[in-house]
Homo-oligomer: A and B are copies of this chain.
Amino acid sequence: MSDVLNVLTDKTPKKFDGPEAPCSVGYVSPRNVRLADEANPLPLECGKAIWPIDVEYEIYGGLNEKKDNAILVLHALSGDAHAAGWYHDAEELGRPWLAKRPGWWDSMIGPGKAFDTKKYCVICSNILGSCYGTTGPSSINPETGRPYGLRFPVVTVGDWVRLQERLISCLGIERLVSVVGGSLGGQQALEWALAYPDRVASAIMIASTAWLTDQGLAFNAVSRKAITADPGFKDGDYYNTIGPDQGLSVARMLAHITYLSEISMHRKFGRRFCNGDRPGFQLEADFEVEGYLRHQAESFVERFDANSYLYITKAADYYDASAWGGGDLDKACEKISSKILLVSFSSDWLYLPGHMKKLALTLGRNRKQVSYANIQSLYGHDAFLLEVDKLTLLVRNFLEGGGQIDSK
C-alpha cells in the first residue's frame, strides 16, 4: 500500500467513442422500477419513511445465469443512471443535453474497458432525491398531488444504499462482484461495504473519503445559501415558475472551482482576457475563466433541479462512515469483509488524498484487504472522470488480479 503511478500527466481528455465503436456499449435506454410502495415504504435515517419510490437505472452487458457477474456503479452529486452508452432519443427523454455525448463514465464502461461489459453486467442506478428519474423533490407528492419541494424528507447516503440494495435484490443478484464510485459515489461504495459486507465481494472508492472536510461543508453551505436566498426559490415551491436559476448558477460556478486544481485552471485559462490581450477595465466578465464558469453554470441550470441540489449536498455533508463505529472509524472498519480499492488524486483538494490514505491505513490496521493508490494528476477532483488510463490499469488489476496492488 503506497503511492503508485507517479507520472505527471497533462494530456487532453480522450474524445468520445461513438455508439458504433467496438468498445462502446452502443445505444442504451433507462429503465424504471418501483422499489417502495405503501405496503413496503423505505424507512429513512431521518426517522421518516417514504413511498412510492421509483428508481431509474441502466444496465450494460448481460447478467450471467448464476447472476454473479454484476458490478454496481454509483454516481456523484450531479450524476445520473446514464453512466455509459448513447441515447437514441435524448430529446424525447427530456434530456437534450445528452443527445451528443455518451454517459458520464463511458470511458470506463464497455467491451474491453476497465469495467468490461463482455465479462461483467454493469448496473448504474440514480439516487433518491435526484431529478433524473428516481423519486426526488420534483416528484409528485401523493398526499398533495403537487411536487414535494421541501416536503421531501432529508435523505442520506445510507438511505441511497438501502434503496440500491432493493434494486439489486429485485434483479435477483445475491452478491455483487464490486460496487464502485467516485466522489460522493465513492462514499456510497464504502457504505455498501459497511452496510452489506456479505453482498459485495469488493468495493472501489475513487477520489473520495470517509467524510467531507469542514471546508467541503462550508462550500456546500455557501451553495445552498445562494439557492435559498434567491427570491425565485419560494421555499422550494417554484416548479411552475423560473425558479432559483441565479442562485443555482452561483452554486454551480462555486462547485466547479472545487472540482479543478489551481494548476489545471492556470493551464486552461492563464489569466487570459475574453477579448484580446488587454484588460477591458469593466465590471462585466473580462477574464476567460469568468466566461467559462458562467457558461458552465448556464448549462447546468438547464439540466438540474435546485431542490435536488439542496438535498444531495446535505446527504454529502451528513455522510460519516465512522458512524458505523459510534464515531470510531477503526471500529466501523471492523464490519467490512469486502476487498477494498482506494484511489485518490494528488491535486484533489475537495476529497483529500491524505484523508483517503488515513482510511487506507485504518483498513490495513484492521487487517482488511485494502489497496491504495494516489495518482499524480493535475486535474484536481475531476481526475476521477479524466485519468482513464491509470484508473483502468488499477481497476483491472484489482478486479482480476486478486486484490493487492503490487506497488512501491
Verify A218–B154 contact, CB threshold 8 A.
Answer: no
Verify B247–A229 contact, CB threshold 8 A.
Answer: yes
Is A241 among interface residues, defined by CB-CB distance under 8 A? Answer: no
Contacts of A260 in B (CB 8 A): 215
Verify A250–B268 contact, CB threshold 8 A.
Answer: no
Is A222 among interface residues, defined by CB-CB distance under 8 A? Answer: yes
Copies in the complex: 2
Is A140 among interface residues, defined by CB-CB distance under 8 A? Answer: no
Most buried by B among A226, A231, A266: A226
Verify A221–B290 contact, CB threshold 8 A.
Answer: yes
Majority DSSP secondary structure for residues of A touching B = helix
Verify B229–A246 contact, CB threshold 8 A.
Answer: yes
A318 is contacted by which of B218, B222, B279 (Cβ under 8 Å)?
Answer: B279
**Shortest Cβ distance from A233 into chain B, in angstroms?**
10
Is A282 among interface residues, defined by CB-CB distance under 8 A? Answer: yes
Known contacts being A262-B352, A318-B281, is A226 close to B250, with CB within 8 Å? Answer: yes
**Shortest Cβ distance from A255 into chain B, in angstroms?**
10
Verify A287–B320 contact, CB threshold 8 A.
Answer: no
Known contacts being A222-B254, A257-B222, is A213 close to B265, with CB within 8 Å? Answer: yes
Is A317 among interface residues, defined by CB-CB distance under 8 A? Answer: yes
Q: How far is the CA of A279 from the CA of B45 in the complex (A)?
A: 10
Is A289 among interface residues, defined by CB-CB distance under 8 A? Answer: yes
Q: Which residue of B lies closest to A290 (CB)?
A: B221
Contacts of A46 in B (CB 8 A): 281
Is A253 among interface residues, defined by CB-CB distance under 8 A? Answer: yes
Interface readout for A315-345 with B: 1 if CB under 8 Å, 0 if not? 0011010000000000000000000000000
Q: How far is the CA of A115 from the CA of B347 in the complex (A)?
A: 39
Contacts of A224 in B (CB 8 A): 283
Chain A residues numbered 245-276 whose CB sits less than 8 Å from any CB in chain B = 246-247, 249-250, 253-254, 257, 260, 262, 265-266, 268-271
Q: How large is the interface on A (under 10, 10 to 19, 20 to 34, 35 or more residues)?
A: 35 or more
Verify A250–B271 contact, CB threshold 8 A.
Answer: no
Verify A270–B318 contact, CB threshold 8 A.
Answer: no
Contacts of A379 in B (CB 8 A): none
Contacts of A247 in B (CB 8 A): 229
Q: How far is the CA of A225 from the CA of B222 in the complex (A)?
A: 13
Contacts of A214 in B (CB 8 A): 262, 265-266, 268-271, 287, 289
Contacts of A253 in B (CB 8 A): 218, 221-222, 225
Chain A residues numbered 179-223 whose CB sits less than 8 Å from any CB in chain B = 211-215, 217-219, 221-222
Is A294 among interface residues, defined by CB-CB distance under 8 A? Answer: yes
A positions within 8 Å CB-CB of B: 45-47, 150, 154, 156, 211-215, 217-219, 221-222, 224-226, 229-231, 246-247, 249-250, 253-254, 257, 260, 262, 265-266, 268-271, 279, 281-283, 285-287, 289-290, 293-294, 297, 310-311, 314, 317-318, 320, 349, 352
Shortest 6 CB-CB contacts between residues of A and residues of B: A46-B281, A229-B246, A221-B290, A214-B265, A154-B281, A215-B262
Q: Known pairs A218-B253, A221-B253. 16 more at Cβ < 8 A?
A: A47-B281, A154-B281, A211-B271, A214-B262, A214-B287, A215-B257, A215-B262, A217-B289, A218-B293, A221-B287, A225-B294, A225-B297, A226-B226, A229-B250, A254-B254, A283-B314
